[in-house]
Amino acid sequence: MSIKHNLQNIKSTLPEDVTLVAVSKTKPVSDIMEAYDAGHRVFGENKIQEMVEKHEQMPDDIQWHMIGHVQRNKVKYMASFVSMIHGIDSLRLLEEVNKQAMKHDRIIDCLLQIKIASEDSKFGMTFNDAKALLTSEALSELKNIKVVGVMGMATFTNDQDQLNDEFSYLKKCYDELQSSHSNFKIISMGMSGDYQLAIDCGSTMVRVGSSIFGARNYN
């Protein structure tokens, strides 16, 4: 199946209020252009350098989402154009995003990554960390970022009960934080293998790569 058909198939199953981030990491510009020509505009990358290179070669109306772990010293390379940063896991990182966004006179939308997986390798804050950050005075001084929701990565497993528990936990975190943070509107959870379940659990933004672009080749 072509990229265009994969996209159309997935979009036809998504509720209207769920945003599809097409995860194009490791894929060439020609593949991304195929999705672009089919009308898609929201793409996700997990490496800043790769996203910058693709951004330079592609149309300006693409919304680029940084979905990977972000190193503070690289924020400056994407601050002029990145549309949303999903992986915020500390106030220090948020301060750096704010500083770089200010240089470009922009306000960058950010999501707090909350650790929902049982594996040690997944980044993220605890619910209490996120709550402390959101209520901190330091945050209220950051005028060039907007925290608009949460992001989570579930455990790499086929166990539907476990996935259900992890997604439901993130939804619960979101609901509690949202009650005192009216900017909140996004729950980014769900990937190729589990986005339908994630939507059932309340996801408003799914990040789908291999189901659109095919398996990734890591050389």
Ligand X SMILES: *Cc1c(COP(=O)(O)O)cnc(C)c1O
* 208 DSSP β-pair partners: 22
Residue for token digits 């898609």? 40
Query: Which structure tokens are listed for 106?
Result: 């922009």
Q: Which of 153, 163, 170, 189 binds ligand X (CB under 6 A)?
A: 153
Please enumerate in sequence order all residues whose Cβ is within 8 A of that of 207, keeping only pairs 6 or more positions apart, or say none: 21, 23, 44, 65, 67, 86, 188, 190, 191
Q: Which of 108, 191, 199, 201 binds ligand X (CB under 6 A)?
A: 191
Strand residues in 93-152 grouped as ranges (E): 108-113, 145-151
> Minimal distance in Å, beta carbon 44 to ligand X?
7
> Minimal distance in Å, beta carbon 103 to ligand X?
26
Piece in contact with ligand X (CB under 6 A), picked from 2-10, 127-135, 155-163, 208-216: 208-216
Piece in contact with ligand X (CB under 6 A), picked from 9-17, 129-137, 168-176, 188-196: 188-196
Q: Verify binding: residue 181, ligand X, rule CB under 6 A.
A: no
Contact positions with ligand X (CB under 6 A) in 52-91: 67-68
Site string for ligand X, 15-34 (x = CB under 6 A): --------x-x---------
3-state secondary structure of 63: strand
3-state secondary structure of 204: coil
Q: Verify binding: residue 46, ligand X, rule CB under 6 A.
A: yes
With vertex at residue 169, the alpha carbon angle to CA 166 and CA 173, rounded to the nearest 5 degrees, is 140
* 147 DSSP β-pair partners: 110
Instruction: Say which amino acid occupies 33.
Output: M
Residue nearer to ligand X on the CB measure, 204 or 211:
211
With vertex at residue 181, the alpha carbon angle to CA 86 and CA 21, rounded to the nearest 5 degrees, is 25
Piece in contact with ligand X (CB under 6 A), picked from 95-103, 120-128, 178-186, 191-199: 191-199
Residue nearer to ligand X on the CB measure, 142 or 154:
154
Q: Verify binding: residue 207, ligand X, rule CB under 6 A.
A: yes
Residues making contact with ligand X (CB under 6 A): 23, 25, 46, 67-68, 153, 191-193, 207-211
